[in-house]
């Protein structure tokens, strides 16, 4: 039986991993829409290869180039934020949400409001919208399949069990490329060093998030919404080998863990085939060759991001959306050479401290308004604050 899918963010790292799996089971899938920010030539090539019905660029100024690249193919082309939402609203079996940042929130909400099944990689959307997104999932009978490797691991470890029996959920963290660096070296870290992750090959933004540990902070908030066991039952442990992707401990003290290679095609395959299983081209796990798995407590002195994220979700309301907005601005500023690496977490914390935090957003428009205000405040702090 053929299933239909749309990939939001098809030209990125998650998009490429998803399409690699689809390419291997071409006859099992019909591609409805593929989207990108701009990269019109790359998007057009993918749309042609996968015989998509629709290709969309979020940046409308790239639409003429997309139209030209698709000329004669019969593939529909569209551009702009509203076109992304329209693409996400088309009825299909599975939406892969792989846009980076809060830019993906509108389209994800469209897919949810259609009552669809969504493989959610776009963690920033859930961090920003939190309760609004979870309420919409319930209201519209949508299904969220966690694609982030940790949350996918937890989802698998919870299968067949009752959430009331969970004593603790532990997210594993690689610790990033600077795990063993001292403070002065971390301060001087360059964008090139920050994006060179030891275990995972990912987009630039999430690579920087992994280096600051804000990725784990965002994932902590993400886990809180996906698996409502309470913040006191959510823990983080550093596990540099990235073999155990997360764990669930039950009240009888049984701990279930999901293990696998550090390749996003594993959790993506689990979402594509869910609730069944599919083949992936990955080598079997060789634990004897690996030798050791090690674990450390997070160091929140050198890497304060997990503390800041925990405090934001404890504060609740608009704080997580402001945290995410500020982090997106700070990471972009760091990648552009405007601020030092250690300023990223500082900008996020200063933005949270100086923002006039409104009460918890009640709908998508209110979330987006908080996001815009958070970005403005963070941008001011970037421009007027110290470089280091």
Q: Residues in the site for ligand NAD, rule: CB under 6 A? A: 9-15, 36-37, 39, 58, 84, 98-100, 103, 121-124, 148, 200, 202-203, 205-206, 264
Residue 101 or 357 having the CB closest to ligand NAD: 101
What is d(CA 112, CA 120) in angstroms, rounded to the nearest whole number? 11
Q: How far is the CB of 235 from ligand NAD (least distance, A)?
A: 19
70 contacts 96 by C-beta, under 8 angstroms:
no
In 3D space, the residue among 112, 84, 102, 141 whose CA is nearest the CA of residue 321 turns out to be 102
Sign for the CA dihedral angle at 144, 150, 154, 156 comes to positive
175 binds, among Mg ion, ligand NAD, none (CB under 5 to 8 A by kind): none
Q: How far is the CB of 370 from ligand NAD (least distance, A)?
A: 18
Residue 149 or 258 having the CB closest to Mg ion: 149
Q: Does 148 bind Mg ion (CB under 5 A)?
A: yes
Residue 154 or 186 having the CB closest to Mg ion: 154
DSSP 8-state assignment for residue 285: P
Count residues near Mg ion (CB under 5 A).
3
98 binds, among Mg ion, ligand NAD, none (CB under 5 to 8 A by kind): ligand NAD
Residue 57 or 357 having the CB closest to ligand NAD: 57
39 binds, among Mg ion, ligand NAD, none (CB under 5 to 8 A by kind): ligand NAD
Q: What are the phi and psi torsion angles at 225 (to 5°)?
A: -80, -40
103 binds, among Mg ion, ligand NAD, none (CB under 5 to 8 A by kind): ligand NAD
Q: How far is the CB of 202 from ligand NAD (least distance, A)?
A: 3
What are the C-alpha distances in Å from 4 to residues 42, 86, 236, 257, 375?
A: 21, 16, 36, 31, 36
SS3 category, 293: coil
CB < 8 Å & 24+ apart, contacts of 92-95: 92/4, 92/5, 92/6, 92/32, 92/33, 92/116, 93/3, 93/4, 93/5, 93/117, 94/3, 94/4, 94/5, 94/6, 94/118, 94/119, 94/271, 94/272, 95/5, 95/6, 95/8, 95/119
Residue 88 or 357 having the CB closest to ligand NAD: 88
Residue 65 or 150 having the CB closest to Mg ion: 150
170 binds, among Mg ion, ligand NAD, none (CB under 5 to 8 A by kind): none
Applying CB under 5 A, the span of 87-95, 143-151, 223-231, 273-281 interacting with Mg ion comes to 143-151
Q: Does 124 bind Mg ion (CB under 5 A)?
A: no
Residue 29 or 220 having the CB closest to Mg ion: 220
342 binds, among ligand NAD, Mg ion, none (CB under 5 to 8 A by kind): none
What is d(CA 58, CA 9) in angstroms, rounded to the nearest whole number? 9
Applying CB under 5 A, the span of 38-46, 74-82, 145-153, 333-341 interacting with Mg ion comes to 145-153
SS percent in the chain: helix, strand, coil, step 5: 50, 15, 35
323 binds, among ligand NAD, Mg ion, none (CB under 5 to 8 A by kind): none
What is d(CA 57, CA 264) in angstroms, rounded to the nearest whole number? 24
The Cβ of residue 383 has, within 10 Å, a number of other Cβ atoms equal to 10
167 contacts 359 by C-beta, under 8 angstroms:
no
- Residue whose Cβ sits closest to Mg ion: 148
289 contacts 261 by C-beta, under 8 angstroms:
no
Q: How far is the CB of 254 from Mg ion (least distance, A)?
A: 24
Q: How far is the CB of 295 from ligand NAD (least distance, A)?
A: 21
In 3D space, the residue among 209, 281, 194, 260 whose CA is nearest the CA of residue 17 turns out to be 281
Q: Does 263 bind Mg ion (CB under 5 A)?
A: no
310 binds, among ligand NAD, Mg ion, none (CB under 5 to 8 A by kind): none
Q: How far is the CB of 148 from Mg ion (least distance, A)?
A: 4
Q: Does 222 bind Mg ion (CB under 5 A)?
A: no
Q: Which residues bind Mg ion (CB under 5 A)?
A: 148-150
């Amino acid at each position: 039986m053929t299933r239909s899918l749309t990939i939001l963010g098809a030209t990125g790292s998650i998009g490429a991993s998803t399409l690699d799996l689809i390419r291997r089971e071409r006859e099992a899938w019909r591609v409805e829409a593929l989207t990108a920010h701009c990269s019109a030539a790359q998007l057009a090539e993918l749309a042609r290869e996968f015989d998509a019905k629709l290709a969309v660029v979020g940046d409308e100024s790239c639409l003429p180039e997309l139209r030209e690249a698709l000329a004669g193919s019969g593939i529909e082309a569209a551009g702009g934020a509203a076109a992304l939402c329209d693409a996400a609203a088309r009825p299909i079996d599975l939406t892969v949400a792989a846009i980076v940042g809060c830019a993906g929130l509108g389209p994800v909400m469209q897919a949810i409001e259609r009552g669809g099944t969504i493989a959610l990689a776009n963690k920033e959307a859930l961090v920003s919208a939190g309760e609004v997104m979870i309420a919409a999932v319930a209201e519209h009978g949508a299904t969220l399949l966690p694609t982030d490797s940790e949350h996918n691991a937890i989802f698998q470890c919870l299968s067949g069990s009752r959430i009331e029996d969970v004593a603790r959920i532990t997210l594993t963290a690689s610790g990033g490329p600077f795990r063993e660096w001292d403070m002065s070296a971390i301060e001087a870290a360059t964008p090139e060093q920050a994006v060179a992750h030891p275990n995972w090959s990912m987009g630039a933004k999430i690579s920087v998030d992994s280096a600051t540990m804000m990725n784990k902070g965002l994932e902590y908030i993400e886990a809180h919404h996906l698996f409502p066991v309470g913040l006191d039952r959510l823990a983080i442990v550093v596990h540099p080998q990235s073999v155990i992707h997360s764990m669930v401990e039950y009240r009888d003290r049984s701990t279930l863990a999901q293990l696998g290679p550090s390749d996003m095609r594993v959790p993506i395959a689990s979402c594509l085939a869910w609730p069944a299983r599919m083949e992936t081209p990955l080598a079997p796990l060789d634990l004897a060759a690996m030798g050791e798995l090690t674990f450390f407590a997070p160091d929140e002195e050198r890497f304060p991001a997990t503390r800041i994220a925990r405090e934001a979700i404890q504060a609740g309301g608009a704080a997580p959306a402001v945290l995410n907005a500020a982090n997106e601005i700070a990471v972009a500023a760091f990648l552009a050479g405007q601020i030092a690496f250690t300023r990223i977490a500082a900008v996020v914390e200063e933005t949270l401290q100086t923002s006039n935090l409104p009460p918890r957003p009640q709908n998508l428009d209110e979330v987006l308004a908080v996001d815009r205000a958070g970005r403005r405040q963070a941008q001011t702090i970037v421009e007027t604050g110290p470089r280091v």
